[in-house]
Amino acid sequence: MTFHVSADIAEDSLPGDSSHVGDLDITLVGPETGDPVTLLDGYDAKLSHIAPVVFSLEEPGELDPGLDDQLEVSGSQILILRNVKLVAPWRGFGLGALLAGTAIKRLSAGARAAVCYPAPISEPDSAAQDSQDDDDAWDRAVAALQRTWGRLGFEHFRDGVFVLDLGLVTLDERLAQLSRAIGRVSTR
């Protein structure tokens, strides 16, 4: 099941007046969906990469044993944060992490973990003349996204996939910290 979240701010509470902030896509998979690796293969590049890292290849429908041991035992579903894209004027304030964390919290009933593969939406252009510059920019963008998701409590698991254990209070604590930080920025 995939959820599309559109973040908008109503200006002056007038009907129809809104400012679009961004969009999020979150996919929810669990034991009832069958084998997530097969199900998500070919869906899109991120899901095709994440699924075999997070789920067992030997026991279809089960978590990777290393991840299973790492997570608290609560819930059976996995939330996959596929895309978060803010429109330009809203970037750089920590709002993306706050919106993603809030969406994860809202959708987390029955979920054991949230996972993501922090990378820009577009791949580096390997055919470009300045491919080293593109690679360096790509690496900087990945590092920035990893720091952003780390602010929510996501930790590296394996092969660039980050995991947030929803059985811990980390998400609530991190959302409170982000809200306070954004509040300080907005009052300056």
Quick one: tokens of 188? 């300056």
- 24-73: pLDDT as tens digits: 999 998 877 778 888 888 778 888 888 899 988 888 888 899 999 999 88
Residue 16 has pLDDT above 70, yes or no: no
Quick one: tokens of 63? 């978590």
Assign residue 27 the CATH number of its domain: 3.40.630
The full DSSP string for 72-128 is -S--SEEEEEEEEEE-GGGTTSSHHHHHHHHHHHHH-TTEEEEEE----SSPP-TTS
Task: State the first-to-last Cα distance of the chain, in angstroms, to the nearest integer.
Answer: 40
The domain total for the chain is: 1
- 108-122: pLDDT as tens digits: 888 899 999 887 655
Query: Domain span at residue 41?
Result: 2-186
